[in-house]
Structure 1
């Protein structure tokens, strides 16, 4: 037998009904709610129960109490807050221009109040700026107004010893921006750490922002760092939840945009095998029968031990592999060709999610230069005989097709070579890690 939950208290049901009407638009922004007495009469209850239900909605931030006029649905016209906009390139203009322009485009009037103080930093700010006990900070305290309503606070903290004789100490707009002043002082910020927390406001924050009960705030603490990792600015932004929408724009750098190549070690055997299997699976999905057999792990292990197998990484993530050696395969290359100084490419693989950046071309250029550095004349390879698309790829990278050899039990045999030191010049430049 199902057990039903406890029935909701009457004051909760009163709040539920009004909350639903607000959510469905029956009660729109600024709408006046029925009086406490009217609600009590509707629900055949006491006025104190009606007040209890209304207080639930006040604490949720859905309605406001404006005595003696009554209760009203909170009007919300949020401002879009974009933390990442700070480091965008922009002309030398007043630091409020972006804020003013955004509000003007929305048909709203913006202003701000600035004051500068020298204070003992809070433990939080002292920790972010790595200050010694007793060190003071200069703080530019700003309240930003939209249509005459305080929308957020922006308090920028600077180590006093670095800014005490600069424009940062003046309680006025800085035409070219405080960040530019910091750069002129030798403290250019090149990166920032953004931290967000959601909580109820402190009494000081509620007073500065004229917050009513039930309004949470988002606190954005941003710490700016110089190229050598020195923190030079800590900003606390307090954003009332009923007045802001925080918008972050993110882009993912392509996998393989910062590649480095290194010799494979014994521990890389699973990685090289996995890359090979990954490529074989993709080829099979394309109807290409190349490499449709188990990876020859023992041969890969021998290549690693001989210092012939290489791994390409992007920030520690393996994205490609290539093996190069000086051994001419007797099934394909003639004895005369085997006597010519050459390096031979084997098992070149690029992860599919790193494709499109010409990592294959980059590895071939790297191998060509390595061949030249070793005094070789040629960079050579034998390609899968039936993979015409692969043949066209090598031809477009400066390789000449010498001939195709059909050796018993072998599916490769399309022989290509290009001069050592030849570089096609597309794709990223591989660097050694």
Structure 2
């Protein structure tokens, strides 16, 4: 038997009503709510219960109490906080720092208050900067204001030994940014470690930011590192939840500078079959019937044993595979063609998350060079007859369509070849690592 939930208290239902009206826009920013007495009368309850319900909304940051005028819906115009903008290039002599420039561009009045102190670091800052027990830090304590309201805290800590006597020690704006000053001192930051924690503010944070009750904060801890891995800056940004929207922009990382192609080893059988299955699933999702059968593991195993199967790795992660051999398939190539020395491409696959970098073109260039090095005349392949995009792909990469063969029980048969040694020079250069 179903058991009904416990009824919500009357003050909670009062809060629910006005919360809903704020959410749907019935009560817009700055709108005045009914008085405590009016709410009590509407709900046939005591004024104390009405105050309880209103206090819930105050604690949630939805309304403010402005006695004796009453309760009003809080106006919100959050700042968009973009941590990834930190390392973007700036003019060396800008009129304003990045924060002031952004707010001015948005039509808002911005300001900041900065003080600089030399302090004994907290355990967290000491650990992040890898400081010894007695080392001190210089901290630039900054409160940023928008339209006269303290919006966030930005406290940047630096090992005192690195920044003593620099502009960082002055409680003034550094329009070109403290990061640029650090770089000029020989400590350019090339990467940062970010950690975001959501919690209630400390009393000091609530006081500096003039926070009302019930307002959570997001704390962004950012540690900046030099090329040799030395931490040189530890920042604590405190962002009130009712005043900020955190926005991250992410992009797919590019391939490493020199992807490696190596022969597959016995233990790579599963890697090759997984790459093949991955490609087959993607083809199926596009309505292409190519490779819609289980991988021929025994054949792949033999290719590996014969040194014909190769794997491309990026940062030691397998991202592609190709098989090359000198065996002309008698279903497709004539005896005259088979007599011509050629290298044949099979089972070329690129992981979808590595697509767009022309790895396939790079593998074909690698195979073409390999064929030329071995004194062969052609680089050849047979493609799936019904995959029009694939046929266009090979035509655009210097292959000539020889003919299409409709062999019994075979779905490939579109025959292509290009002279051995012909290089398109498209895509990354593959570094061969022989076994």
What range describes the TM-score normalised by the shorter chain of this pair?
0.7 to 0.9
Deviates more, 1:17-26 or 1:400-409: 400-409
Could you say what secondary structure the match of 1:190 adopts? Answer: strand
Give the TM-score, by structure 2 length.
0.86
- Which residue is equivalent to 1:204? 204
- Which residue is equivalent to 1:422? 422
- Which residue is equivalent to 2:54? 54
Shift of 1:355: 4.2
Shift of 1:272: 1.8
Judge conservation of contact 2:97–2:176 (CA < 8 Å) in 1.
no
Separation in 1, partners of 2:241, 2:399: 62
Give the TM-score, by structure 1 length.
0.86
Judge conservation of contact 1:151–1:243 (CA < 8 Å) in 2.
yes
Structure 2: gaps (5+ residues): none
Deviates more, 1:137-146 or 1:219-228: 219-228
Separation in 2, partners of 1:52, 1:286: 58
- Which residue is equivalent to 1:320? 320
Deviates more, 1:418-427 or 1:79-88: 418-427
Separation in 2, partners of 1:177, 1:29: 36
Judge conservation of contact 2:80–2:247 (CA < 8 Å) in 1.
yes
- Which residue is equivalent to 2:137? 137
Residues 8 and 303 from structure 1, CA distance in 2 versus in 1: closer, same or farther, beyond 3 angstroms? Answer: same
Residues 213 and 319 from structure 1, CA distance in 2 versus in 1: closer, same or farther, beyond 3 angstroms? Answer: same
Separation in 2, partners of 1:28, 1:287: 49
- Which residue is equivalent to 2:4? 4
Separation in 2, partners of 1:294, 1:26: 59
Separation in 1, partners of 2:187, 2:39: 61
Deviates more, 1:50-59 or 1:342-351: 342-351
Shift of 1:169: 0.7
Judge conservation of contact 2:290–2:384 (CA < 8 Å) in 1.
no
Matches within 5 A, 1:18-417: 18-94=18-94, 96-253=96-253, 259-279=259-279, 294-315=294-315, 317-327=317-327, 332=333, 334=335, 338=339, 340=341, 342-351=342-351, 354-372=354-372, 374-384=373-383, 386=385, 389=388, 393-400=393-400, 416-417=416-417
CA RMSD of aligned residues (A): 3.3
Deviates more, 1:403-412 or 1:214-223: 403-412
Separation in 1, partners of 2:207, 2:11: 30
Could you say what secondary structure the match of 2:189 adopts? Answer: coil
